[in-house]
């Protein structure tokens, strides 16, 4: 043994065995971890569906499933953007404000009960442009002025609400007149609600951006360490602004769909969405510190929360209790989801 260590040959063989053992261990661990996390989410989802279908036979009917899918479509679209922002290690709280401003802009430029201009497709472009501007503004203030995203987007939420309220003015409710658009979101094509098809498209694009584009990869890198990103000469600044812009446009799209669904323009069209989106991202397993997570996990998180809401209503939980019950379950779910990340001697701040 001693001589083996001494001679060149011996040292070589010891180290190569050590390397090989370590390499196989690495792969085993990685494979296990890759499966374990989404699996526990799927199990939770299955349990939830099982419990609710036992409590109420209406839960697993086609019409209720389509109902759940319609309900989940808008949170899904918004959550794709929120996931990207959270992967940066930032947060976007402006969701509901951007939804309000975009939705209101859109309906006032479309065929509505107040009359005015009907710009058709241009209404979409201009409304989403408003969302884009709000997103770029958040992104620039966040990156150039180095204000925490939490504060910037909290402000931008109210800026968005303010824009929506100003547009709303004191006139009558703007009601959607276009018969083709009324109820479009929940109408079924090829077995699924239209709005859910839009959500699927957004999810697909989101996954493509995150997995296979520079923006997506640098987003993950920034979430890990912005210092390293800068010292590697990667474009941290533009990517951060772009991610906030993408998130805002997706919120805006959600705002337009929500307006279509509601039939009328309202500044508070996005009310309650933030409360589903952020927890869904976290329950999905995306780290609030950034760098780890993904869009498919968020999708599972949104389903979990939407089904929870839908199931509670169907199971006859009194509406006065409902928000308390949802809140409590949410906290429990987050504690459960974050359990594996606990570490001794590591303080949560």
Partner 1 sequence: MSNLTTTPAVLHLNNVSKSFGSNRAVRGVSLSIQPGEVIGLIGENGAGKSTLLKILSGNYRHDEGTIAVNGREVQFRGPADALRAGIGVVHQEQSLFTNLTIAENIEVNTPIGRGGVNRLGLYNWRRLYADAAQALDLIGSHLNPKTRVSDLSFVDRQMVEIARAIRVSAASHTTPLVILDEPTAILERTETAILEREISKLRDIGSVIFVSHRLDEVMRICDRVVVMRDGELIADRTVDDVTEEELFRLMVGRETHAAVRSRRSIDPANSPVISIHDLTRAGSYADVSIDAYPGRVLAILGTSGSGRESVARAIFGAEGFDSGSVSIAGYSGRQLTIKKAVALGVGYVPAERKTEGMVGEMPADQNITLTHPGSAALGPFELPRRRLSLARAWFEKLDIRPREPGHTLQDFSGGNQQKVVLAKWLNSSHLKALVLDHPLRGLDPGAAETVNAQIRSVCDEGTAIILIPDTIDEALDIADDIVVMRDGRISGVFDLGHDNPATLDLLERML
Residue 215 interacts with partner 1 (CB under 8 A): yes or no: yes
Name the residue nearer to partner 1 (CB basis): 14 or 334: 14
CA 348 to CA 136: how far, in whole Å? 31
Q: Which stretch binds partner 1 (CB under 8 A): 13-21, 238-246, 249-257, 313-321?
A: 13-21
Closest distance to partner 1 from the beta carbon of 41 (Å): 19
User: 240: which residues sit within 8 A by CB, 6+ positions away?
Assistant: 88, 90, 139, 142, 143, 222
Closest distance to partner 1 from the beta carbon of 278 (Å): 20
Closest distance to partner 1 from the beta carbon of 231 (Å): 5
Contact residue for partner 1 among 7, 12, 50, 335 (CB under 8 A): 12
Residue 258 interacts with partner 1 (CB under 8 A): yes or no: no
User: 220: which residues sit within 8 A by CB, 6+ positions away?
Assistant: 87, 210, 291
Name the residue nearer to partner 1 (CB basis): 2 or 172: 2
Torsion of CA 169, 100, 242, 349, to 10 degrees: 120
Task: Report phi then psi at 204, rounded to 5.
Answer: -60, -45
Contact residue for partner 1 among 26, 54, 173, 334 (CB under 8 A): 26
Residue 204 interacts with partner 1 (CB under 8 A): yes or no: no
218 and 156 Cβ atoms separated by less than 8 Å: no
**Which DSSP category does 7 fall into?**
S
Residue 223 interacts with partner 1 (CB under 8 A): yes or no: yes
Q: First-to-last CA distance in the chain?
A: 50
68 and 276 Cβ atoms separated by less than 8 Å: no
Residue 35 interacts with partner 1 (CB under 8 A): yes or no: no
257 and 185 Cβ atoms separated by less than 8 Å: yes
Residue 43 interacts with partner 1 (CB under 8 A): yes or no: no
Name the residue nearer to partner 1 (CB basis): 187 or 214: 214
Closest distance to partner 1 from the beta carbon of 18 (Å): 6
176 and 111 Cβ atoms separated by less than 8 Å: yes
Closest distance to partner 1 from the beta carbon of 169 (Å): 43
Residue 207 interacts with partner 1 (CB under 8 A): yes or no: no
Spatial CA neighbour of 292 closest among 226, 236, 222: 222
CA 289 to CA 109: how far, in whole Å? 40
Q: For partner 1, what does the binding mask look like between residues 267 and 306, x meaning CB under 8 A?
A: ------------------------xx--------------
Closest distance to partner 1 from the beta carbon of 295 (Å): 15
Residue 231 interacts with partner 1 (CB under 8 A): yes or no: yes
Residue 234 interacts with partner 1 (CB under 8 A): yes or no: yes
Residue 36 interacts with partner 1 (CB under 8 A): yes or no: no
CA 260 to CA 242: how far, in whole Å? 27
- State the pairing for strand pair 188-189/192-193: antiparallel
Interface residues toward partner 1, by CB under 8 A: 1-2, 5-6, 11-12, 14-15, 18-19, 22-23, 26-27, 29-30, 211-215, 217, 220-221, 223-225, 228, 231-234, 291-292, 344-345
């Amino acid at each position: 043994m001693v001589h083996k260590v001494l001679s060149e040959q011996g040292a070589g063989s010891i180290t190569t065995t050590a390397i090989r053992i370590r390499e196989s261990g690495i792969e085993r661990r990685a494979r296990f971890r890759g499966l374990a996390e989404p699996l526990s989410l799927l199990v939770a989802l299955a349990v939830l569906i099982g419990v609710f279908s036992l409590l109420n036979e209406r839960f697993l009917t086609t019409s209720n499933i389509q109902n759940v899918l319609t309900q989940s479509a808008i949170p899904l679209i918004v959550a794709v953007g929120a996931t990207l922002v959270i992967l940066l290690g930032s947060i976007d709280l402006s969701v509901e404000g951007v939804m309000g401003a975009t939705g209101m802009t859109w309906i006032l430029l479309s065929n509505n009960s107040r009359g005015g201009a009907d710009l058709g497709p241009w209404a979409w472009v201009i409304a989403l442009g408003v969302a884009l501007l709000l997103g770029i503004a958040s992104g620039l203030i966040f990156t150039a002025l180095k204000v925490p995203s939490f504060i910037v987007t909290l402000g931008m939420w109210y800026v968005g609400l303010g824009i929506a309220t100003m547009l709303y003015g004191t006139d009558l409710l703007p009601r959607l007149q276009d018969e083709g658009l009324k109820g479009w979101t929940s109408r079924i094509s090829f077995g699924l609600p239209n709005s859910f098809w839009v959500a699927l498209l957004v999810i697909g694009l989101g996954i493509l951006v995150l997995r296979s584009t520079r923006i997506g990869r640098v987003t993950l890198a920034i979430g890990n360490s912005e210092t390293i990103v800068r010292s590697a000469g990667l474009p941290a600044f533009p990517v951060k602004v772009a991610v906030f812009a993408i998130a805002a446009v997706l919120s805006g799209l959600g705002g337009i769909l929500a307006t279509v669904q509601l039939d009328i323009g309202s500044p508070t069209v996005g009310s309650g969405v933030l409360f589903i989106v952020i927890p869904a991202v976290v329950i999905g397993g995306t780290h609030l510190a950034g760098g780890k997570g993904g869009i498919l996990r968020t999708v599972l998180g949104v389903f979990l929360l939407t089904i929870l809401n839908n199931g509670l209503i169907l199971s006859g939980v009194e509406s006065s209790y409902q928000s308390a019950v949802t809140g409590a379950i949410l906290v429990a779910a987050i504690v459960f989801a974050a359990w594996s990340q606990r570490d001794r001697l590591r303080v949560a701040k």
